[in-house]
């Protein structure tokens, strides 16, 4: 019997809508679709092409997946930018029986750093057959009293597949006593009595219930139904409500009673004694959290109620009397879970930079920050703050945080920053989380060398040998590395028509000044020279000491 109407077939598709501008990514969303169980190497889509990244730029941009959760299933081909299947994808293990299986994956492109979000929809294939919790189902029906048209609820079949691949119809083997209908609102098969049963004529009826899915080709599963014909117990238990709707807060203590059911039976004796049990429609996951006292009707907790795991449960409860045959009353208990603020925000910082140059402009992006909170409502709304009195701030753009510079950096003053990020939710009381980011400030050549003295005086006897050390000059540079490697030189000038370099020379690395010739006091008493020092940065910076006096004296 069909339980689905018209179903639209899905085709493999790639949905890609975005806007690119000359200054980079503005807005957009990549979305791909792929069927589960696709072979390794199957192309999902070309991420680089869809993001507008040219093939020639691929090696520089180094596109890779950021989402560790899904890296085992997908990878990016660095040669062509294609997103391909890496490992077996089982939709049911990823998304269970959810109608939609949509994976959120983040892609990082470097040089410059950009973060993109793409969605991959995993499409179902018909790789699971319908099955029943039990292969055998017994129903006891009273002879004579049960009239044609009476309905008996049967166990529904489970199918891990979804959509058209899920359970589509039920069939029953042909027999003169029973037929089958399906209650569309709950996809529940119902057994219909077509003629009065006579226990003396036949004590048992054996039926086969078959569940068939809508896949291509279709799969099926069966359940054996045994109808036991017994004597009269003419009043089933009746609940005071057919549906109970209650709300409870998550994290309630174990053994807390959340509801006491009440069913009545007009019969006397064993026919009016009631036991409460879970119906077949109650999921195993619900039974791991809730239990039922068979005698009192108390529903109580045996497991942790977690809003973030599941915020709604439905319990099918049966009230069964002790008559022969047993009669059953049914009700539904719908439990809504209310959120409490039990999850602190989670902070994730992404940056491919380990340092930032000290001449970085205001607003330079240092890294991206992701803040999530598993709670809902105000409990899941988050504020993000950065430690005060530092030249950095948080910038929010389209629900994405970034850490940017907010002042001038000076490596010589502060070579390293430890930035503390604090996230707090709006719950009551609020929950907090913190993380620290360490950032090195890299040097630029912004300091010229400086001589330790503005004037140097040296004395030398006349007729001293060439190569005699006259004096040593010294300079310092606040920069580091190559920007502080110093080179000394003599500024060219003329002395009595001769080049100053014919009188003295300087060692470029240590600043030692030596005589090039012997000095004659009668010709030169004082030799004034200018020394230049420059660093090895780019561009080079320099300074001079214009007054170095070399005094010659009598031998």
Length of the chain as a residue count: 555
| Stretch 102-115: mean pLDDT | 90
Residue 532 pLDDT > 50: yes
Residue 502 pLDDT > 80: yes
pLDDT at 17: 33
Q: 44 or 203: whose pLDDT is higher?
A: 44
| Stretch 281-292: mean pLDDT | 94
Q: 525 or 185: whose pLDDT is higher?
A: 525
What confidence category does residue 554 fall into, taking pLDDT thresholds of 50, 70 and 90? low
pLDDT at 188: 81
CA angle 36, 42, 45 (to 5 degrees): 95
* 397 vs 180: CA distance, rounded Å: 58
Helix H, strand E, coil C: the string for 200-248 is CCCCEEEEEEEEEECCCCCCEEEEEEEEEEECCCCCCCEECCCEEEEEE
pLDDT at 186: 59
pLDDT at 261: 96
Q: For CA atoms 360, 362, 365, 366, give the dihedral sign.
A: positive
What confidence category does residue 308 fall into, taking pLDDT thresholds of 50, 70 and 90? confident
Closest CA to 547 of 509, 491, 502: 491
| Stretch 461-474: mean pLDDT | 88
Residue 258 pLDDT > 80: yes
Q: Look at residue 50 and give its three-state secondary structure.
A: helix
Residue entry with tokens 């039920």? 170
pLDDT at 21: 26
Q: For residue 20, what are the β-bridge partners?
A: 25
pLDDT at 182: 86
* 88 vs 439: CA distance, rounded Å: 40
pLDDT at 125: 87
* 76 vs 64: CA distance, rounded Å: 6
Q: What is the mean pLDDT of the chain?
A: 87
User: Which positions ≥6 away from 126 have C-beta within 8 Å?
Assistant: 161, 165, 213, 215, 216, 217, 218, 219
pLDDT at 509: 93
* 128 vs 132: CA distance, rounded Å: 13
In which region does residue 3 sit, left (phi positive, over 0), alpha (psi from -120 to 50) or beta (all else)? alpha
CB 511 within 8 A of CB 473: yes
| Stretch 451-479: mean pLDDT | 89
In which region does residue 380 sit, left (phi positive, over 0), alpha (psi from -120 to 50) or beta (all else)? alpha
**Full-model pTM:** 0.52
Q: Look at residue 304 and give its three-state secondary structure.
A: coil
Q: 112 or 548: whose pLDDT is higher?
A: 112
Residue 307 pLDDT > 50: yes
What confidence category does residue 5 fall into, taking pLDDT thresholds of 50, 70 and 90? very low
pLDDT at 491: 92
pLDDT at 352: 66
Residue 544 pLDDT > 80: yes
| Stretch 466-494: mean pLDDT | 92
pLDDT at 44: 93
| Stretch 417-445: mean pLDDT | 92
Q: Is 549 exposed, middle or buried (0-12, 13-18, 19+ CB in 10 A)?
A: middle
- The encoded tokens of residue 342 equal 């039990």
pLDDT in tens, 152-199: 989 888 888 888 888 889 999 999 999 999 876 556 899 999 998 887
Q: For residue 529, what are the β-bridge partners?
A: 548
pLDDT in tens, 11-57: 333 333 332 222 233 335 789 999 988 999 999 999 999 988 888 88
Quote the radius of gyration of the chain (alpha carbons, Å): 42
| Stretch 275-295: mean pLDDT | 94
């Amino acid at each position: 019997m069909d339980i689905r109407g018209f179903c639209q077939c899905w085709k493999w598709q790639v949905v890609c809508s975005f806007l690119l501008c000359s200054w980079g990514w503005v807005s957009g969303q990549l979305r791909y679709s792929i069927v589960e169980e696709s072979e390794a190497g199957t192309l999902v889509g070309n991420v680089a092409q869809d993001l507008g990244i040219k093939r020639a730029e691929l090696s520089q941009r180094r596109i890779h997946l950021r989402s560790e959760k899904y890296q085992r299933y997908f990878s990016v081909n660095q040669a062509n930018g294609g997103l391909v299947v890496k490992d077996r994808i089982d939709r049911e293990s990823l998304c269970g029986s959810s109608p939609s299986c949509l994976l959120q994956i983040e892609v990082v492109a470097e040089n410059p750093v950009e973060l993109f979000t793409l969605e991959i929809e995993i499409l179902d294939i018909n790789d699971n057959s319908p099955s029943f919790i039990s292969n055998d189902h017994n129903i006891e029906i009273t002879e004579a009293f049960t009239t044609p048209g009476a309905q008996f609820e049967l166990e529904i079949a489970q199918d891990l597949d979804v959509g058209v691949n899920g359970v589509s119809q039920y069939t029953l083997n042909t027999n003169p006593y029973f037929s089958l209908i399906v209650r569309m609102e709950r996809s529940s098969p119902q057994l219909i009595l077509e003629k009065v049963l006579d226990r003396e004529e036949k004590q048992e009826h054996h039926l086969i219930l078959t569940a068939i899915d809508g896949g291509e080709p279709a799969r099926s599963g069966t359940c054996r139904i045994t109808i036991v014909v017994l004597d009269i117990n003419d009043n089933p238990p009746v609940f005071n409500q057919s549906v109970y709707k209650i709300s409870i807060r998550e994290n309630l203590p174990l053994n807390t009673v959340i509801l006491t059911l009440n069913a009545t039976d007009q019969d006397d004796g064993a026919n009016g004694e009631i036991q409460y049990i879970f119906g077949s429609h109650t999921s195993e996951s619900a039974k791991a959290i809730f239990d039922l006292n068979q005698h009192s009707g108390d529903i109580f907790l045996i497991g942790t109620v977690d809003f973030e795991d599941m915020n709604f449960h439905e319990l099918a409860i049966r009230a069964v009397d002790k008559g022969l045959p047993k009669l059953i009353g049914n009700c539904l208990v719908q439990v809504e879970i209310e959120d409490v603020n039990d999850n602190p925000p989670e902070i994730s910082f992404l940056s491919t930079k380990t340092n930032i140059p000290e001449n970085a402009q205001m607003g330079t992006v240092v890294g991206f920050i992701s803040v999530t909170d598993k709670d809902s409502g105000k409990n899941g709304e988050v504020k993000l703050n950065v430690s005060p009195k530092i030249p950095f701030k948080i910038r929010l753009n389209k629900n994405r945080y970034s850490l940017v510079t907010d002042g001038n950096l000076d490596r010589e003053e502060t070579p390293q920053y430890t930035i503390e990020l604090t996230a707090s939710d709006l719950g009551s009381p609020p929950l907090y989380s913190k993380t620290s980011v360490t950032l090195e400030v890299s040097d630029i050549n912004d300091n010229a060398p400086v001589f330790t003295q503005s004037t140097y005086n040296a004395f030398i006897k006349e007729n001293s040998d060439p190569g005699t050390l006259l004096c040593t000059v010294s300079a310092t540079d606040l920069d580091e590395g190559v920007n502080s490697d110093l080179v000394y030189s003599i500024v060219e000038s003329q002395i009595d028509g001769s080049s100053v370099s014919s009188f003295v020379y300087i060692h470029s690395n240590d600043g030692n000044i030596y005589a090039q010739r012997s000095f004659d006091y009668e010709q030169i008493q004082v030799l004034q020279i200018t020394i230049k020092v420059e660093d090895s940065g780019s561009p080079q910076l320099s300074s001079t000491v214009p007054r170095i006096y070399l005094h010659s004296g009598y031998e």
